[in-house]
Amino acid sequence: MPEPSPDTPTREAGRWLRERQRPALGTIRAAALAGILAAVASFFQLGGMAWITHQVLVSKQAPAQLVAPVIMVLAAIAVRAAAVALQNRFSASASDRIRLALRRDLLDHFQHLGPIGVGQSSAGTLASEWQDQVEALHGYYAHYLPQMVLSVVVPLLILVTVVWLDWLAALFLVLSAPLIPLFMALVGMGAEKLNQQHMETLGRLSGHFLDRLRGLSTLQLFEYTGAATREIAEATDQYRQVNMKTLRVAFLSSAVLEFFASVAIAVIAIYIGFGLLGYITYGPSPDLTLFSGLFILLLAPEFYQPLRQLAQHYHDRATALGAAAQLQQRLATGPGAATVSPGRAAGNSAAVVEVDHASVVFPDGRIGLEPLSLVVGKGGRKAELVAVAGPSGSGKSTLLHLIAGFLAPTRGAVRVNGGPPGARPFGWLGQTPFIRQDTWAGNLRMVAPEATDEALLDALEKVGLGDLVRQRTEGLETPINEGGAGLSGGQARRLAVARLFLARYPLILMDEPTAGLDTRSEHYLLEAIRQLRDLGSTIIIASHHPAALAAADRCLTLVNGRLQDE
């Protein structure tokens, strides 16, 4: 086993980032190639300009005789501009493709995890991963990766060109070449520290600010907003002072890079000048011309340019690594015990639900359900209303999850209509029903695409929402959140029940459907449960509401995961 080192998570995240680039590998390569093409075009442009200068000033040619070189320079400029535009364009689509694939994979993973696995994290956390963290990868794929290639290839190309022009000048660049890895490290360290420091300050600052924003209504109730505003000003100023102390040092590393780039230009300029004056008789210096001298001078800044740009994109890498670590972990979380087993094919029973000596032990060792057997809706009693009662934590929800197929039994088997649970659509009513940002009709027709307007209104009538819809300007075609009014918790749950009327599922599972409801909603809900049963649905309801228990054909009681005698 490899020794775990402190930077393993970073390396791991780096590997993951490289793996994820697969869907756009070609495009990323194309971006880097376009960048290299731009560099090569720039050699032709700068060389051409140096050549024209030489021809006019030294060989005394009239500019009018130099049409061909001027056209070459113009062409090189056009190629260079086009290549840069293409590089940016390719980078953008590469990042876009990678992020889309990742978002799709995350959604697939959420489906695979099932409601129980997804329920382990807050919806807000998942939303921030699915949106913000995926977005945070953009800079890495769009800017950092192509630039990484360019910062190696372009300086090498320049070096080769300069060796051809004057190997002594190239030596100055080569001498700084061993320094390049050092620069890279310096830039990396500096940028990473800078980024860390900046993020930390920003984090603490936003933390303080966010805390006050979250508590704004509390501050308003206590009429403390004026003082809180002053505190925000003081806190941000303190953070600034602390931050600046470290930044003064951190900026030094980029200053070093800047210094070497400037000094290299200065040294080369002075060397060429002395060579042209004939002061240096060693090596290739006597052969220097205005053309080669000027060309080398024009190339020198380009030698360091890719590296300076890489430094600018360094924070993209740090941001992406942070996000990658989180996303990688999310995609790695297995569904635990929640895998839906394929189950045995059609059993010999014709019951709607058959639980056969099923027990559940959670991964942490807690017992969810002791071995339990249960048959619901057999023979003549197809449409049965079964209530499961018991104190909270007694295993009511676990039993429902088993029947739903959200959870596989540790031992034993569960069959629904003779097949594995969840093989056919069924109804589920919990406490947070799904409401789509759509019209009333859209929210109802999602389960019954063929239903007529009359059927929709009839279903709404049954849950007491008929009047509300009729009041709206466009009736069923009114957006459900018109005017930002939205639905109350009770109204949303009633809408979900209206969907149950339309879908006519043979099996409906309800998990504490009356918890926290207003009186009116509760009244409609209990009435609806009876009607759904009369319409032929088998209903299993986990609840301790007396009215729900009274309406049930059968009442089971669970205590500590064990079924009490009926």
Which 408-437 residues touch other proteins, going by CB under 8 A? 422, 424-430, 432-437
Residue with tokens 């109802």, as numbered in its chain: 444
Per-residue contact flags (x/-) with other proteins for residues 467 to 486, judged by CB under 8 A: -x--x---------x--xxx
The 10 Å CB-count burial string (b at 16+, else e) for 325-345 is bbbbebeeeebbbbebeebee
Taking CB under 8 A as the criterion, the residue among 3, 223, 454, 566 binding other proteins is: 223
Q: Does 233 bind other proteins (CB under 8 A)?
A: yes
Q: Give the strands of the sheet with 411-416, arranged side by side.
A: 367-376, 353-361, 411-416
- Site residue total, other proteins (CB under 8 A): 147
Q: Does 404 bind other proteins (CB under 8 A)?
A: yes
**What number of residues does the chain have?**
566
Per-residue contact flags (x/-) with other proteins for residues 50 to 69, judged by CB under 8 A: --xx--xxx---xx------
Per-residue contact flags (x/-) with other proteins for residues 135 to 174, judged by CB under 8 A: -------x--------------------------------
Name which of 45 and 394 has its Cβ closer to other proteins. Answer: 45
Q: Which is it for strands 411-416 and 507-511: parallel, antiparallel or unpaired?
A: unpaired
Query: Which residues inside 539-558 make contact with other proteins, applying CB under 8 A?
Result: none
Q: Does 516 bind other proteins (CB under 8 A)?
A: yes
Take residue 129 and report the two structure tokens written for it: 């991963």
Taking CB under 8 A as the criterion, the residue among 81, 182, 185, 535 binding other proteins is: 81
Taking CB under 8 A as the criterion, the residue among 11, 22, 240, 344 binding other proteins is: 240
What angle (nearest 5°) sits at the alpha carbon of residue 418, between those of residues 415 and 424?
A: 80
Residues 6+ apart with CB under 8 A from 359: 367, 369, 370, 371, 372, 409, 410, 411, 412
Taking CB under 8 A as the criterion, the residue among 75, 118, 337, 549 binding other proteins is: 118
Taking CB under 8 A as the criterion, the residue among 28, 186, 496, 548 binding other proteins is: 496
Alpha-carbon gap, residue 458 to 21, rounded angstroms: 52
Positive/negative CA dihedral, 274, 279, 284, 289: positive
Q: Which stretch binds other proteins (CB under 8 A): 152-160, 292-300, 329-337, 357-365?
A: 292-300
Taking CB under 8 A as the criterion, the residue among 65, 120, 220, 373 binding other proteins is: 220
Alpha-carbon gap, residue 455 to 504, rounded angstroms: 12
**Could you tell me the smallest distance in angstroms from the CB atom of residue 320 to other proteins?**
16
Q: Give the strands of the sheet with 427-429, arranged side by side.
A: 427-429, 507-511, 538-542, 385-389, 554-559, 562-563
Residue of 485, 549, 494 lying closest to 521 (CA atoms): 494
Q: Does 451 bind other proteins (CB under 8 A)?
A: no
Q: Does 301 bind other proteins (CB under 8 A)?
A: yes
**Residue 562's CB: how many other CB atoms inside 10 A?**
15
Residue 424: C-alpha distances to residues 119, 485, 497, 501 (Å): 22, 35, 19, 17
Q: Does 281 bind other proteins (CB under 8 A)?
A: no
Q: Which stretch binds other proteins (CB under 8 A): 99-107, 158-166, 354-362, 385-393?
A: 99-107
Residue 50: C-alpha distances to residues 210, 261, 521, 554 (Å): 57, 21, 84, 95
Query: Which residues inside 313-372 make contact with other proteins, applying CB under 8 A?
Result: none
Q: Does 49 bind other proteins (CB under 8 A)?
A: yes
Q: Does 566 bind other proteins (CB under 8 A)?
A: no
β-partners of residue 511 are 542
Name which of 16 and 224 has its Cβ closer to other proteins. Answer: 224
Q: Does 45 bind other proteins (CB under 8 A)?
A: yes
Q: Does 232 bind other proteins (CB under 8 A)?
A: yes
